[in-house]
């Protein structure tokens, strides 16, 4: 029996680098993306076409997209906040536009500085602007599993928004656990319902490890038939509400687990770890990745001398 394929998207070049205090040099970004391309990802979130003033960390979006080496079979997705960003991105030849809004009204206002209604209108304009262009469109819904300001989120709001975008012809939706509030039984419930009510939509799950539950949540989602996940090289990508806590699900930890569990991620873990090993120098701090520190489970160590002769 062939192994079940799980598709992984690395979001470190956008979601990770955007959150770093130091500016990651453009050539380093390009080199990291190029190396990730060789690891076997289905998709890489390469950058964001937000205003360079709003997010200076990713002010080099055009140069990154023009200079990376595209690997056939890998989709290069970028975050797009508005029609202006869509136009910039189109001129660079992207594969997918990733649009974002929150399920939580408070989080949407805090994070995107507008009401959900305005966000939905704005996303509608981007979707309209991209019609006819040779790019896929993905909508990422933030705070699906809870809001750091509101607390629990009514799942009716999650499904109302999925329905809203499905009506606009969207077939790709990411359900995002923006600040690590998801837990396995909740994940199972929401994913099961999402797949049952929207069989034509390809869902991606995006977990954070803020409270140590990212891995368990990935397995819970797979139980319901979900087969696409975002994760971030090294576990980069912070949570502004939990200083020092882990950020995104760590790609190499997810790959390590899924391969052990008998899934085919298509990813070369050793090659991936070599890319992750470059991060501490680039971001100038220790990174959350456990696998980078400990190695994979069969990393063996020499036995102490002299123990062979024990009687």
Contact in structure between 154 and 113 (CB atoms under 8 Å): no
User: Per rule CB under 8 A, is residue 154 in the interface with a second copy?
Assistant: no
Q: Given candidates 210, 224, 251, 276, which one binds a second copy under the rule CB under 8 A? A: 210
Site residues for a second copy, 18-77, by CB under 8 A, read none
Q: Which residue has the tokens 């909508």?
A: 139
Angstrom distance (rounded) from CA 194 to CA 254: 22
Angstrom distance (rounded) from CA 173 to CA 141: 7
Q: Given candidates 164, 211, 271, 278, which one binds a second copy under the rule CB under 8 A? A: 211
Q: Is 239 a catalytic residue?
A: yes
Site residues for a second copy, 73-132, by CB under 8 A, read 106, 109-110, 113-115, 118
User: Per rule CB under 8 A, is residue 169 in the interface with a second copy?
Assistant: no
Angstrom distance (rounded) from CA 4 to CA 261: 10
Kindly determine how many residues on this chain lie close enough to bind a second copy according to the rule CB under 8 A: 61
The token duo for 33 is 């993306």
The token duo for 211 is 């409270």
The token duo for 213 is 């539950």
Nearest distance, CB of residue 95 and a second copy, angstroms = 30
Q: Given candidates 62, 184, 264, 271, which one binds a second copy under the rule CB under 8 A? A: 184
Angstrom distance (rounded) from CA 227 to CA 205: 9
User: Per rule CB under 8 A, is residue 260 in the interface with a second copy?
Assistant: yes
User: Per rule CB under 8 A, is residue 153 in the interface with a second copy?
Assistant: no
User: Per rule CB under 8 A, is residue 250 in the interface with a second copy?
Assistant: yes
**What angle is formed at CA 188 by the lines to CA 186 and CA 192, rounded to 5 degrees?**
120
Binding mask 263-282 for a second copy (x = CB under 8 A): --------------------
Beta carbon nearer to a second copy, 1 or 307: 307
Angstrom distance (rounded) from CA 233 to CA 186: 25
Backbone angles phi, psi at 223, to 5 degrees: -55, -30
Q: Given candidates 84, 164, 271, 296, which one binds a second copy under the rule CB under 8 A? A: 296
Q: Calculate the alpha carbon distances from 292 to 131, 146, 248, 259 in Å.
A: 42, 30, 15, 16
Active site residues: 239
Which residues would be at the binding site for a second copy (CB under 8 A)?
106, 109-110, 113-115, 118, 146, 148-152, 180-181, 183-186, 209-216, 219, 239, 241-246, 250, 253, 256-257, 260-262, 286, 290-291, 293-304, 307-308, 310-311
């Amino acid at each position: 029996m062939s192994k079940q394929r799980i598709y992984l998207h690395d979001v470190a070049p956008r979601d990770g680098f955007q959150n770093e205090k130091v500016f990651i040099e453009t050539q380093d970004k390009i080199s990291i993306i190029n190396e990730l391309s060789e690891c076997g990802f289905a998709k890489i979130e390469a950058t964001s076409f937000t205003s360079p003033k709003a997010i200076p960390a990713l002010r080099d979006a055009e140069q990154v997209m023009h200079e990376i080496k595209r690997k056939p079979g890998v989709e290069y997705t970028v975050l797009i906040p508005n029609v202006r960003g869509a136009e910039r991105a189109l001129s660079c030849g992207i594969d997918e536009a990733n649009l974002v809004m929150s399920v939580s009204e408070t989080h949407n206002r805090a994070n995107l500085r507008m009401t959900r209604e305005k966000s939905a209108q704005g996303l509608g304009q981007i979707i309209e602007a991209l019609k006819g262009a040779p790019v896929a469109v993905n909508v990422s819904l933030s705070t699906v599993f809870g809001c750091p300001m509101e607390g629990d989120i009514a799942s009716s709001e999650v499904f109302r928004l999925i329905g809203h975008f499905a009506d606009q012809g969207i077939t790709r939706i990411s359900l995002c656990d923006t600040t690590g509030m998801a837990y396995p039984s909740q994940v199972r419930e929401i994913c099961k319902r999402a797949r049952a009510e929207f069989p034509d939509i390809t869902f991606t799950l995006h977990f954070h490890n803020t409270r140590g539950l990212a891995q368990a949540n990935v397995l819970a989602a797979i139980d319901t038939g979900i087969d696409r996940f975002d994760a971030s090289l090294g576990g980069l990508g912070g949570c502004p509400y939990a200083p020092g806590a882990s950020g995104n699900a760590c790609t190499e930890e997810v790959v390590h687990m899924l391969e052990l569990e008998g899934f085919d991620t298509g990813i070369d873990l050793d090659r991936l770890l070599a890319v992750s090993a470059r991060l501490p120098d680039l971001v100038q701090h220790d990174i959350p990745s456990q696998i980078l520190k400990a190695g994979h489970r069969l990393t063996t160590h020499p036995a102490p001398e002299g123990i062979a002769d024990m009687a």
